[in-house]
Amino acid sequence: MSRLLAKLLFNSILLLSLISLAACGENSDETNTSDSGEISGKVTMWTASLSGEPFDSYFSDIEKGFEKKYSDVDVIIEDIPQEQMEQKVLTSLTGSEVPDLVNLNPLYVANIAGQGGLLDLTDLIDEKTKDSFVEGPFKAGINDDSLYALPWYLTTTVTWYNNEHFEQAGIEELPTTLDGIYETAKKISDKTGKASYYPVINDGNVIMQKMVSLANGDPIVKDGKAVFEDNQAILKYFETMQKMYEEGLIPQEAAEGSIQSGQELYMGGNISFLEGGVTFLGPVESGAPNIYKTSKSGPPLVSEDAPINVDVMNFAIPSKTKNQEAAVELLKYITNAENQLEFAKIAGTVLPSTKDSLDDSYFKEAGDSPKAQGMMQASKALERAEVLIPPTENSADVREATKNIFVQNLQGELSSEEALSQLAEEWTKSFEETGEDVTF
């Protein structure tokens, strides 16, 4: 035992010495801009949840392509799990090892930019580049009139349905009205004996988007005050969801409301249709191959002229970047039409955000697979897609209130009028607290 302890002691001391050595040997070859004006040095880019093939090869090509264009630049690309990206970027900003380009969603952009963590790109990106993007997604990178991010890939909402169930119930078209959703769900449930429709809630954001979509042009928040209480379409939506839940057309799991629960129910054949992003079918393809084969996609379940939400993934530059010039060039490079089109092709389920890449024939002839069909639906929907909810400081509070009150409405704990009244009150209170006079 004592020999073992002596060894233990020795090893511990050795390791401590190694710590000191590591401290002395800290890498100091940071970035520079060459005297000739050519960009040079190291530039680090963080992507969000894009590891493994086909993405590794794609980013390897991006790296090589950029290094060929700028021979003095060393590009380093690392992948970070998406859910921890914001935390990791914020933590890195407290130290000296900050990435030069990061892949963020608009909420993360708003939060990090709000804390002074992102570089203002307004004057660093030329007008031609700015004009190359689709307008709605481009606006997702603007906060307080300053541009903090450029859009990269997009997803929009489409409706996914189990065609076998639809055929059994004799339904040929997806509904576009609330009465239509009810009738469709009822017919299918009568045939299958199961619930059929699943309203995705997530953290409340999907319901908020739905409300804007249903309002169809009328603002639901005006100068920081909720004004949707008297909106008949939103009231009807709340009433219809409550009725469908009560009648068992919506499963009880809907009270939890996550897209993952919806996915599990869909994979098990326990629901027949729901609205989701273009990437919805990924887990279905691997987890329920038979359901995947019978899956079809269609436009969102709202009227054909209603706006629908677009989810944007951006690239932004942290304010503490040590190689601003290279970061800006890499940002323009990774988001240019050619590279975006290539990314959309290898990913298979997302859309690019540049006008030129969207014009490519690929989006009209993507193939017959359920995934490819979904992507084509999404590209059609992009014509009326925009970021429906602007990122705000109180975003988390408003979403939470929306989820809680919507679930109470769903379960019949509140009448739909009461639910809307309470929700409006909560939203207005929250906007007053943060002093945001937004309109959407």
Partner 1 sequence: MQVNQLSKRIWIYALMLLVAVTTVGPFLLTLFISLKSPGEGIYDGFLPANPSLINFVEAFERANFGSYFINTIIVSAIAIPLNLFFCSLAAYPLARMEFKGRSFALVLIISTMMVPFQLFMAPLFQLAGELGLHNTHVGLVIMQVSTAFGIFLMRQAFLRIPKELEESAYLDGANKFQVWYKVALPLVKPTLITLAIFTFMETWGDYLWPLINTTDSSMYTLSIGLAQLSQNFDGANLKLVSAGSILTVIPTLLIFIWLQKYFISGVTEGSVKG
The residue ranges that bind partner 1 (CB under 8 A) are 1-2, 5, 8-9, 11-12, 15, 18-19, 22-26, 44, 49-53, 55, 78-84, 87-88, 90-92, 94-97, 99, 263-264, 267-269, 279-283, 286-291, 347-349
C-alpha to C-alpha distances, 112 to 47, 100, 144, 386, nearest whole angstrom: 16, 14, 13, 22
> C-beta of 220: minimal distance to partner 1 in Å?
30
By C-beta, is 263 or 353 nearer to partner 1?
A: 263
Closer residue to partner 1 (CB): 346 or 359: 346
**Residue 224 CB, nearest distance to partner 1 (Å)?**
31
User: Closest separation between CB of residue 171 and partner 1, Å?
Assistant: 24
Q: Which is nearer to partner 1, 92 or 402 (CB)?
A: 92
Q: How far is the CB of 422 from partner 1 (least distance, A)?
A: 32
Closest separation in Å from C-beta 275 to partner 1: 15
Shortest distance in whole angstroms from residue 348 CB to partner 1 = 8
